[in-house]
Structure 1
Amino acid sequence: MTAASHRSRLRLIVIQTLVFSLLATLGARLYYLQVISGEEYQGQAASQSVREIVVQPQRGLIVDAMGRPLVTNRLTWVVSMDRTLVGRMSEADRTELLARTARAIGVKVPRIRAKLLLCGDEGSVAGECWNGSPYQPVPIAQDVKETAALRILEQPEDFPGVVVDRQSVRQYPSPYGINAAHLLGYLSPITKEELEDAEDDGDSSVNGASVVGRAGVEKEYDEFLRGQPGYQQVAVDSKGRVRQDVSDLAAQPGDTLVTSIDANVQSVVEEQLAKMIQTQRNTLDPVTDRKFEADSGAAVVLEARTGRIVAMASQPTYDPSVWVGGITDKQLARLYSEAAGTPLLSRAFQGQFAPGSTWKPFMTVGALTHGYSPDTILPCSSAVQIGNRAFHNHESSAYGPITFARALEVSCNTFFFQVGMHFWQTLGSDPDDVNAKDPLVSQAEKFGFGERTGVDLPGEASGRVADRKWKKAYYESMKNYYCGIADKPQDAKTSDFVYKFAREFCIEGWKYKITDSANFAIGQGDTIVTPLQLARAYAALSNGGTLWEPRVGKAVVSPDGKVIREIAPKKERQLKIPKKVLRYLDEALQGVASRGTMAWKLGGFPLDKVTIRAKTGSAEVYGKQSTGWVASYTKDYVVVMMISQAGTGSGATGEGVRAIWEALYGVDGDQVREGRAAIPGVTQPATLPTFGDDGSILPPARKEQ
């Protein structure tokens, strides 16, 4: 054998050895993958074809005190798209799929593309983009017609990656035709920030497809109403078509919220408020010689002994169902539009207005507990000269020397001007002293004015008690603005009033003058209240001095009918008012209803059977028509109605307030027929509605209260 042959043979052996080694290594690797690690990789392979679908829970019901449904749910067809599968398609196939889907469901392609974008991605639009998991089907259309949904379901090969299912959305049964939008609130999709916060807190009750409460009790009790989502795992093929269910974790429906609202009373309140507004819009204002604007209004009915809200209405209002399925830009713009009256704002607990003469009963309490007595007599002249200005009574009426009771009956401004000026002169005649005592201010604060009531509704306004400290703080915050106007020559855009005010404000705008004290005593000037604040203060007059935190929620009940949480009335404070003062005031306000400024609207009403106490008020607002108020109460209820730019209190709202009292007590002419009362038995039962095993909700069984 030659040396060359030997070398060739050696190379062949080496090559054979290498090939054998490679084959052995490959075989060993295959054995490891298929035998030793086979189950692990098989599981991983299977998991890649398993898709997790979030099953949204049915949101809890909202019912009134009698069990009538105020907010329920209805089923709707929802079409979603699998972003992952659609993203794998070629541009041509994706374009064709989107066009075909758009035609089927009646949604334009650009809108579908916008919904498929993840929030935060380039080109994404808040409210349109997807907040949830990128691996979860993205809802692109709601309330899809059944024919379109069935077509997609029956032709899956034409709609790869398109998912169709039925989901529940909010529905408003409107018993007795009520609206109650500001009480109930609305829902909208969860934001990216909210979702991230929930994930950080370990809150699994929300996900990218969740809707959450944005106003009213929908927001306040959202954690109970929202329920717990479920999760369904399904096996899909390479085209995203579902082949079989793998596992299923059922969603847990939300709890039911029982409210203190009575739908029957709510309907009467809404109807009367709207009617009074419309009436005033067709009535000539004798002061301005044009029809009243009557641009907004509110009405509240409280249980005097508990602070529970029985009914509450605000105008303008809106249809809460506009939020279901997504609100349009045009609809949203109208809700925030000042030209439309800002319908989203609840005047009942978010609107702030000068209280006018409805303020005088609280000033009476302050006076009678700080030196004055029921026997005090002061002159009710047509006007009082304060400095270089005459302060007048309404229509410059004069009633001679009168008591506090008579001053309340005829709503004498000059009487209360003197009370306010007396305390200024004796306790705080230095206009620069921000710490001077003022019994009228302190009494107003004790009744809860200038602070939120604590009602279980979000976004409540605090009102304002315009005392010395507030005036000084306001001056500090606004002096640059007004001094800037005053330091320049008056231009065409600045009215004489504004220019004069700016100059005076710049020079001594922090001073609390005797005129401020006089105005404070009659509910004018810079003091503002919400109708709800006024109602709960009158409830304290009715119930002996207890100031309650108003409540809409009454109980939270699980889907199987078990009471999870009872929402008891919460006492904020007990006012230390002598009983003789409350009795005196009570009798005086009865006089307002029977022979005072409210009497002309209560002619023929059986006041001997239903004893109403009332106070009217007309608040003047610069550049606008007067705001009309009536605040009234019995031992059971408080009724307050307010209409902005509608004239005198009884003239603007008196008939509506009377109609509400007639409904509450079943008044028919001069007779009281309890069987016709809006609430059976006149007052609400102490018990909750009865929840049946079959899901039915029946009225409460009445007990002795």
Structure 2
Amino acid sequence: MVKRILVLKVVFLLALIIVVARAAQLQLVMGDYYYQLSEGNRISLRPINAPRGKIYDKNGKILVSNKLAYDLYLLPNEVPPDISVKEILHRLSKYTNLPISQLEKNYQEHEGDSSPSPIILKRNITPETMVIIQENAESLPGIFIKESAIRYYVYGDLAPHVVGYVGEISTEELRNLTSQGYDYRGGDIVGKAGLERQYEIYLKGTDGIEQIEVNSLREKVRTLGIKPPRPGNNLILNLDYELQKETERLLEEHFYKLREEFLDDPEMYSPTGAAAIVMDPDTGEILAMASIPDYNLNEFAEGLSLKEYKELLNDPLKPLLNRTIMAAVPPGSIFKLVTGTAAIEELGIRADTKFVDENGMFFVPNWSRPYKNWHPGGEGELSFTRAIARSNNVVFYELGYRLYKKYRGKKLKWYAHQYGLGSPTGIDLPGEKEGLVPDEKWKRKVFNEGWYPGDSVNLSIGQGGLLTTPLQLAVMVSSIANGGIIYEPHLVDKVISPDGEVVLDVKPRIKKRLPFRRQTLNILEKGMVEVTSTSYGTARSVFADFPIKVAGKTGTAQTGTSRPNHGWFAGYAPVEDPEITVLVFLENGNSSSYTLPIVAGILRTYFGIEEPVEEEQNNEGSSSSLDENVQEVEDKTGDKKDKEQEIEKEREIQDDDKKLLEYLEEVFSKE
């Protein structure tokens, strides 16, 4: 009996010890947690993500908006102390197949935060993932799902290089933005490219907080209070949706058609990219801006895999490159407008000044190597404006040499800089290239050589190391159209608050006024009109019978030993009172002639001109890689074999220029 009582006492004593120990654990060891948990069972703070501002075209058409999504969060202060966050994340990964490495990475980035704010683990989870998490909620303490706004690009592949895309903020971006006094934290979504990046501080809204009462299962009982989010500001663009859409259609149609046609032609090369710009020459407003190949913005918004992103980065056609502002390449004969300006201002050249092209070659005195024209055999006597219309190299070689004799290499460079070449235009987009106007200082640094007469001769026709972006040339031609004003190009017209107030009103900004006589610009315009409207103009095949008077300049630029020429056209219309400037660039497009149908289509769209019932055959089918319409050569000789020989001759690049272009290509590809 005594023994049984003793056993009973021992059992009671052990039970008492266990109860006391458990009470001590609950009150002393885990007291703070259960106090916080009891409070948490009553009150929990949940984030409310603010939607980014919308983006509209000039006519109020929504281009970019937001749509409902669901994000996955972790509340660290709701995780019991007897289980680690790591274990919770492993369970979550096991249930949902979400990569544990990414979950842990997102958590570790905020592990040391003093604030109890929720940590974003995964954005835009699938409905299937939501169901799985809800079914396993009891074993996933601290895990919850919240509605959010995800970026939605209404026309996913419209103007992607202009609009840009968003992504999770990087460490460097977080450091930079917070150092400037902006309220950002890890996990935030920010603009990564285009206008999304350029206007980030305007587009980002202010997040809100919802204070809710929850039960012991962390289920919402009721809302106690809300600090509502404030949406970001809206952008109103100068971009015209209809014009942008048609510009892209024309560019893509002709680009891919040429690529397909040239695949079976051993003498031709497939173009590698294209760009088009439409702007108002009197304000600098960008009405359309396209670069192809391109990509779909919604793929970024919904989350690209690393593999998909690498495929875009490694695509040889570089779809992520905005060629309108990032392609710094030789402009070819469009630069003859700069040479012409210098010749009129400094050498007294007039519209009717006569030149003679005897044999299609120009010789620098005491040099044995000729500089060739695109037209072999010589074109005889030409006026200055006809030389522009014919894009006669010999005339501009002579002008470049005369400028060299009088001013060495300084004056031509100065005139290029007056037009804005060699420096960014200032457009409201990130990543703009400044290009390059070569001079003696640059040449000594790169080649350890001085500036020779041949350098000025090469530069006079837009070669010899000169690099420009399509936008720079569009701005340059616009300044001729508007009488001598360099405007800063801009895509955004206004920034509007959610309440409808104007936060930012972007007015036309004059960067400079050209220090040239109006007569100089008039002479250039006369030559540009002859390009499109005369029987000898290089763009006559498309514009000779065009219902609106167009001024323009074609250009075909040598690119290097192994790649075909770039094709260019830049012009404006109507000549009497210019409304738009149009520039089209075909990267490695063989000839400027292939740009002409694209330009004509853009002009028809803008001015509402119907397509002719039976359009005359244009130069699109030509195999020329010259700056001029080789069809005229074939008409004169009547010999296709001679034509092919002429083309082959013009593909030969002078040795010095080959080395220079190869070096520049290597330098800029590394950049």
Q: TM-score, normalised by structure 1?
A: 0.75
Distance 2:362 2:187 in 1: 65
**Structure 2 Cα separation of the partners of residues 103 and 47 of structure 1:** 27
Shift of 1:215: 1.4
Partner of 2:345: 369
Q: Aligned partners of 1:412, 1:667: CA distance in 2, in Å?
A: 32
Match status 1:403 vs 2:346 = no
Is the counterpart of residue 183 in structure 1 residue 174 in structure 2? no
TM-aligned CA distance change 1:231 to 1:531, over 3 Å: same
What is the distance in 2 between the residues matched to 1:412 and 1:532?
Answer: 25
Deviations 1:376-433 (Å, cap 9, x if unpaired)?
21112411123121111114252112111000111100100000001112332xxxxx
Match of residue 627 from structure 1: 566
Matches within 5 A, 1:681-700: none
| 1:334 and 1:340 in contact (8 A); partners too | no
In terms of Rg, which structure is larger? 1
Letter in 2 for 1:521: S
The residue number in structure 2 matching 1:208 is 186
Whole-Å separation in 1 of the counterparts to 2:176 and 2:124: 30
Quick check: 1:441 aligned with 2:374? Answer: no
Helix, strand or coil: the match of 2:323? Answer: coil
After superposition, the Cα gap between the structure-2 partners of 1:284 and 1:397, relative to the gap in structure 1 and judged at 3 Å, is farther
Identity of aligned residues (%): 27
Partner of residue 584, structure 2: 641
- Post-superposition Cα deviations, 1:229-266, rounded to whole Å, max 9, x if no partner, equal 11233456777555554442111100110010111111
Q: Does 1:612 align with 2:605?
A: no
Aligned to 1:519, which of 451, 458, 465? 458
Aligned-pair CA distance for 1:276: 2.2
User: Shift of the alpha carbon at 1:364?
Assistant: 1.0
Q: Which residue of 2 aligns with 1:532?
A: 471
The one-character-per-residue Cα deviations of 1:439-480 (angstroms, maximum 9, x if unpaired) are: x221111000001101011111001111222222333xxxxx
For residues 549 and 199 of structure 1, the distance between their equivalents in structure 2, rounded to whole angstroms, comes to: 29
- Asked if 1 retains the 8 angstrom alpha-carbon contact of 2:284 and 2:487, the reply is yes
Which residue of the other structure, out of 345, 348, 352, is the alignment partner of 2:324?
348
What aligned pairs does 1:264-663 form with structure 2 within 5 A after superposition? 264-284=242-262, 289-337=266-314, 339-374=315-350, 375-381=352-358, 382-386=360-364, 387-396=367-376, 398-428=378-408, 437-438=410-411, 440-475=412-447, 509-595=448-534, 596-606=537-547, 610-623=548-561, 624-634=563-573, 635-650=578-593, 652-663=594-605
SS in 1 for 2:51: coil
Contact 1:190 1:209 in 2 (8 A): yes
2:41/2:216 contact within 8 Å kept: no
Quick one: distance in 2 between partners of 1:43 and 1:117?
A: 23
- Secondary structure class of the residue paired with 1:253: coil
Alpha-carbon spacing, 1:660–1:197, altered in 2? closer, same or farther (3 Å)? closer
Structure 2 distance, partners of 1:319, 1:636, is: 31
Tell whether the 8 Å contact from 1:132 to 1:209 is kept in structure 2 after alignment.
no
Give 1:112's aligned residue. 103
SS of 1:554's partner is: strand
- The partner residue of 2:143 within 162, 167, 185 is 162
Supply the distance in 2 between the matched residues of 1:279 and 1:388 (Cα, whole angstroms).
42
Q: Distance in 1 between matches of 2:242 and 2:369?
A: 50
Q: Aligned pair in 2 of structure 1 residues 99, 200: CA closer, same or farther (>3 Å)?
A: closer
Counterpart AA for 1:646: G
**CA positional deviation for 1:107:** 2.3
2:20 aligned partner: none
Evaluate the alpha carbon distance shift between residue 132 and residue 185 of structure 1 in structure 2; reply closer, same or farther with a 3 A threshold.
Answer: farther
For 1:118, give the aligned amino acid. Answer: E
Aligned to 1:77: 70
- CA shift, 1:134, in A, is 6.8
- Structure with the larger RCO, 1 or 2 (CA within 8 Å, 6+ apart): 1
Counterpart of 1:142 in structure 2 is: 123
Q: CA deviation at 1:211?
A: 0.9
Task: Decide whether the 8 Å contact of 1:334 with 1:342 is kept in 2.
Answer: no
Change in Cα spacing, 1:330 to 1:151, as seen in structure 2 (3 Å) is: closer
Alignment RMSD (CA, Å): 2.9
Rounded Cα–Cα distance in structure 2 between residues aligned with 1:519 and 1:391: 9
Equivalent residue pairs, number: 569
Q: Does 1:261 align with 2:239?
A: yes
Per the alignment, in what secondary structure is the counterpart of residue 278 of structure 1?
Answer: helix
d(CA) in 1 for partners of 2:206 and 2:533?
Answer: 56
> Are the equivalent residues in 1 in contact too, given 2:67–2:152 (CA < 8 A)?
yes
| Unaligned residue ranges in structure 1 (runs of 5+) | 1-41, 120-129, 429-435, 476-508, 672-705
Residue 86 of structure 1 deviates from its aligned partner by 4.3
TM-aligned CA deviation for residue 195 of structure 1: 3.1
Q: Assess, with a 3 A threshold, how the Cα gap between structure 1 residues 669 and 243 changes in structure 2: closer, same or farther.
A: closer
Q: Distance in 1 between matches of 2:588 and 2:143?
A: 55
Once residues 239 and 193 of structure 1 are traced to their aligned partners in structure 2, the CA distance between those partners, rounded to angstroms, is 39
User: For the residues of structure 1 that align with 2:489 and 2:80, how far apart are their CA atoms?
Assistant: 53
Q: For residue 291 of structure 2, what is the amino acid of its counterpart?
A: S
> What amino acid is the match of 2:541?
W
Supply the distance in 1 between the matched residues of 2:117 and 2:207 (Cα, whole angstroms): 14
Deviation at 1:541, TM superposition (A): 0.5
Secondary structure of the corresponding residue to residue 183 of structure 1:
helix
Contact residue 41 and residue 214 of structure 2 kept, 8 A: no
State the Cα distance separating 1:333 from its structure 2 match.
1.6
Q: What is the match of residue 633 of structure 2?
A: none
Q: Secondary structure at the match of 1:668?
A: coil
Match status 1:220 vs 2:192:
no
**How far apart in 1 are the matches of 2:40 and 2:83?**
25
1:491 matched to which residue of 2? none
Q: Deviation per CA, 1:30-69, whole angstroms, max 9, x where unpaired?
A: xxxxxxxxxxxx9998589754433221100011101111
Separation of aligned partners in 2, 1:141 and 1:427:
64
CA change 1:277–1:89 in 2 (3 A) is farther
Q: Which amino acid is the alignment partner of residue 379 of structure 1? A: V
Evaluate the alpha carbon distance shift between residue 191 and residue 148 of structure 1 in structure 2; reply closer, same or farther with a 3 A threshold: closer
Whether the 8 Å CA contact 2:40–2:78 is kept in 1: the answer is no
CA distance in 1, matches of 2:267, 2:96: 52
Amino acid at match of 1:602: F
Q: 2:171 aligns with which of 192, 196, 216?
A: 192
Q: Secondary structure at the match of 2:347?
A: coil
Q: Normalization by structure 2: what TM-score?
A: 0.79
Equivalent-residue separation in structure 1 for 2:391 and 2:57 (angstroms):
38
